[in-house]
Structure 1
Amino acid sequence: MQISVDVHNYMETLVGQVLANEEYVEKFDHEQLADLACLALSQLRPVYIRHDIDFLSALPEERLVTLKEYAESAVDAAVSMIVDDRRKNRQDEIPVIFSKQSFDDDVELEWFEKPILNKK
């Protein structure tokens, strides 16, 4: 089994359908569309499935409409981030100064950094 082949996030399909509309394809380049997809998908709860046909046959139509609305809303929110991209007007002349060390070997790991299994 390969997860990337056998399992996928159905929300990717819905976001892809939204981004395939002419209003997005004509307005944004390939890189911006990829950014839009990432930004939109980051806002959505994933729906992992194996086969679209099995999923859709068991999914009530109202729920599918709701998922499509979520995808459209997420893309709309992502568009504002791309249009108002702060990276365009960035001034690289300002130096970045770190006031403290970013990594300290003596600091205890956060809960999400600790391994799940302890080695014996």
Structure 2
Amino acid sequence: MKLHDDIHNYYEKLVLDEVIKQKISESLDVDTLADFCCTVLNQLPPRYIRFEVDLAFYLPQSERIEMEEQVRVAIEESIKLISMRGDN
């Protein structure tokens, strides 16, 4: 069952933005990148929206900054997890 094409987790955009910013996508193949993003997103609370413009308008700047920091921390933890698995 699919609810709607427009419904998505806003953290997905934040994670992808940070992955691109940190150039993580350049060092992982497509399948590993998808797994990596799932690992990151599973550490974050869901924030479902239909239209990004609504969230951009109603979200206080302080909350957006906090969300971005949560994404950075989740990415750091996921990188550590991947590194630990590679050391085994």
Same fold (TM over 0.5): yes
For structure 2, the 5+ residue unaligned runs are none
- Check if 1:44 corresponds to 2:36: no
With a CA cutoff of 8 Å and minimum separation of 6, indicate the structure with the bigger relative contact order.
2
Count how many residue pairs are aligned between Structure 1 and Structure 2.
87
Deviations 1:18-54 (A, max 9, x none): 1112531232222221111010100100000110001
TM-score by length of 2: 0.85
Q: Would you tell me which structure has more helix in proportion to its own residues?
A: 2
Take 2:23 and 2:5, find their aligned partners in 1: how far apart are those partners? 30
Take 1:71 and 1:4, find their aligned partners in 2: how far apart are those partners? 25
Runs of 4+ in 1 over 6 A off after TM superposition: none
| Percent of matched pairs sharing the same residue | 31
Give the CA RMSD over aligned residues.
1.8
2:65 aligned residue: 65
Take 1:84 and 1:55, find their aligned partners in 2: how far apart are those partners? 36
For structure 1, the 5+ residue unaligned runs are 90-120
- The answer to whether the 8 A contact 1:19-1:33 is kept is no
Take 1:30 and 1:23, find their aligned partners in 2: how far apart are those partners? 13
2:85 aligned residue: 85
2:5 aligned residue: 5
Larger displacement relative to structure 2 (3-12 or 26-35): 26-35
2:21 aligned residue: 21
